């Protein structure tokens, strides 16, 4: 039995940092299985956070430069992670960092040049998992649902509360998934007003109260009324959401409290629309799983028919990185790793570009 040994990396939209995961993945009796062996999170410096956040405004040559230097930086992080833990590695799977995501215009771009990365760590690297699906007319996102199906299929719903919230579930024998909308991106945007990276445990949000006008404006965002397949990027936040938050004159506590109600209301709505059992389990991963106030508010809005399950901190933080490792394995095995039932592409695909160090 072949056991794949992988270092995978994810840099998400909340811009908190880079997640590295070392795992083993193997197939037993036609079923993929995994074990997470080591993990590491590297918080972005304030400078790097700003550089990545503002990358949507860069000129093409500056963006390409960043693509290359960030690729080298990723390779260096792989080297350090391997040395620190004396790891044996077959390949690296890297999501990169999404700077542009406009599937409606036929484009998505994750920086972190695969060739620079592979050359820096001298290990075969698989990355650029989204472009092929967009070329096939799909959203190129979300991609993690293939992992939900293969590794976490016993849950009725899988919810990711990252920078953006997205959900995945089985309906009529098919995996369905889409970005629901806001999550930590809006919460972090609010706390940055007082130079705070995030609201730990939702403690500040808990002490606030709802700003009715802001809640109404957020709930009325056009994206929520669109049918799936659908996905969003940081561009959407800058254009549609930030103006609502920034024009609301209220305390940080009230802004946070309102945003938590909005996030959980939208998630609960999507679940009740797609619930076809009277007792279901919702797996929640992503940093929002560590926001106690958000989880409590969500459970309250969901009522008794769905039990929110928050797994271990490792699973909360590294599930996405783990799934990119699985996607790399599936790519090498020429098995499907992107589902058109989720993205709306012309067909399923085995996506990801393979770079050999040179």
Ligand X SMILES: Nc1ncnc2c1ncn2[C@@H]1O[C@H](COP(=O)(O)OP(=O)(O)OP(=O)(O)O)[C@@H](O)[C@H]1O
Ligand Y SMILES: CC(=O)N[C@H]1[C@@H]2OC[C@@H](O2)[C@@H](O)[C@@H]1O[C@H](C)C(=O)O
Q: What is the DSSP string of 282-306?
A: EEEESGGGG-HHHHHHHHHHHGGGE
343 near ligand X (CB under 6 A)? no
Fill in the DSSP letter of residue 112: S
Q: Taking the complex as a whole, how short is the minimal distance between the CB of residue 120 and ligand Y, in angstroms?
A: 23
The CA-based angle 96-98-100, given to 5 degrees, is 145
Residues 93, 97, 101, 107, CA torsion sign:
negative
Instruction: Closer to ligand Y by CB, 42 or 252: give it.
Output: 42
Residue 109 main-chain phi, psi, to 5 deg: -145, 125
200 near ligand X (CB under 6 A)? yes
Q: Taking the complex as a whole, how short is the minimal distance between the CB of residue 246 and ligand X, in angstroms?
A: 18
Q: How far apart are CA 266 and CA 179, in angstroms?
A: 11
Q: Taking the complex as a whole, how short is the minimal distance between the CB of residue 213 and ligand Y, in angstroms?
A: 27
Q: Which residues bind ligand Y (CB under 6 A)?
A: 12-13, 98, 101, 108, 141-144, 160, 162-164, 166, 179, 231, 233, 320
Residues 98, 100, 105, 107, CA torsion sign:
negative
Q: How far apart are CA 114 and CA 159, in angstroms?
A: 29
198 near ligand X (CB under 6 A)? yes
Whether the CB-CB separation of 128 and 263 falls below 8 Å is answered with: no
Instruction: Closer to ligand X by CB, 5 or 100: give it.
Output: 100
Among 71, 287, 328, 352, binds ligand X (CB under 6 A): 287
Provide the 10 A C-beta neighbour count for residue 357: 15
201 near ligand X (CB under 6 A)? yes
Footprint of ligand X on 241-280 (CB under 6 A): none
291 binds, among ligand Y, ligand X, none (CB under 5 to 8 A by kind): ligand X
162 near ligand X (CB under 6 A)? yes
Instruction: Closer to ligand Y by CB, 162 or 289: give it.
Output: 162
Fill in the DSSP letter of residue 125: E
Q: How far apart are CA 25 and CA 358, in angstroms?
A: 26
Q: Taking the complex as a whole, how short is the minimal distance between the CB of residue 109 and ligand Y, in angstroms?
A: 9
Q: What share of the chain is helix, strand, coil (3-state, %, to 5)?
A: 45, 25, 25
Pairing mode of beta strands 353-355, 125-127: antiparallel
Footprint of ligand X on 21-40 (CB under 6 A): none
Q: Taking the complex as a whole, how short is the minimal distance between the CB of residue 211 and ligand Y, in angstroms?
A: 26
Q: Taking the complex as a whole, how short is the minimal distance between the CB of residue 88 and ligand X, in angstroms?
A: 27
Among 141, 187, 245, 338, binds ligand X (CB under 6 A): 187
Binding mask 117-136 for ligand X (x = CB under 6 A): --------------------
For the record, the structure tokens of 171 come out as: 């309906």
Instruction: Closer to ligand X by CB, 12 or 103: give it.
Output: 12
Whether the CB-CB separation of 181 and 222 falls below 8 Å is answered with: no
Instruction: Closer to ligand X by CB, 177 or 187: give it.
Output: 187
Q: How far apart are CA 283 and CA 173, in angstroms?
A: 19
Instruction: Closer to ligand X by CB, 169 or 293: give it.
Output: 293
Q: Taking the complex as a whole, how short is the minimal distance between the CB of residue 160 and ligand Y, in angstroms?
A: 6
179 binds, among ligand X, ligand Y, none (CB under 5 to 8 A by kind): ligand Y
Region of 7-15, 117-125, 267-275, 338-346 interacting with ligand X (CB under 6 A):
7-15
For residue 330, give the nearest of 311, 312, 349, 317 by alpha carbon: 349
Whether the CB-CB separation of 244 and 121 falls below 8 Å is answered with: no
For residue 166, give the nearest of 129, 140, 134, 189 by alpha carbon: 140
Binding mask 301-340 for ligand X (x = CB under 6 A): -------------------x--------------------
The residues that touch ligand X, with contacts defined as CB under 6 A, are: 12-14, 16, 160, 162-164, 184, 187-188, 198-202, 286-288, 290-291, 320
């Amino acid at each position: 039995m072949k056991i794949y040994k992988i270092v995978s990396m994810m840099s998400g939209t909340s811009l908190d940092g880079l997640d590295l995961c070392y795992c083993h993945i193997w197939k037993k009796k036609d079923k993929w299985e995994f074990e997470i062996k080591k993990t590491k999170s590297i918080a972005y410096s304030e400078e790097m956070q700003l550089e990545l956040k503002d990358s949507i405004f860069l000129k093409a040559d500056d963006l390409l430069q960043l693509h290359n230097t960030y690729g080298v930086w990723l390779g260096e992080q792989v080297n350090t992670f391997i040395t620190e833990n004396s790891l044996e590695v077959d390949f690296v799977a890297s999501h990169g960092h999404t700077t542009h995501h406009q599937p409606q215009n036929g484009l998505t771009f994750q920086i972190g040049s695969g060739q620079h990365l592979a050359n820096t760590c001298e290990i075969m690297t698989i990355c650029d998992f989204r472009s092929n699906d967009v070329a096939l007319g799909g959203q190129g996102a979300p991609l993690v649902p293939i992992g939900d199906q293969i590794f976490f299929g016993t849950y009725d719903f899988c919810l990711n509360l990252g920078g953006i919230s997205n959900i995945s579930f089985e309906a009529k024998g098919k995996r369905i998934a889409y970005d629901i909308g806001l999550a930590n991106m809006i919460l972090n945007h609010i706390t940055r007003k007082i130079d705070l990276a995030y609201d730990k445990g939702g403690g500040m949000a808990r002490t606030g109260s709802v700003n009715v006008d802001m809640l109404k404006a957020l709930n009325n965002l056009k994206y929520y009324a669109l049918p799936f397949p659908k996905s969003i990027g940081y561009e959407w936040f800058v254009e549609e959401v930030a103006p609502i938050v920034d024009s609301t004159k209220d305390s940080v506590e009230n802004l946070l409290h309102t945003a938590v109600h909005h996030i959980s209301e939208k998630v609960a709505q999507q679940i009740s629309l797609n619930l076809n059992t009277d007792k279901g389990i919702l797996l929640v991963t992503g940093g929002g799983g560590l926001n106690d106030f958000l989880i409590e508010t969500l459970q309250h809005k969901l009522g008794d028919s769905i039990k929110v399950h928050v797994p271990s901190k490792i699973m909360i933080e590294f599930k996405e990185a783990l799934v990119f490792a699985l996607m790399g394995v599936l790519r090498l095995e020429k098995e499907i790793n992107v589902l058109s039932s989720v993205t709306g592409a012309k067909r399923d695909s085995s996506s990801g570009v393979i770079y050999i160090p040179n």
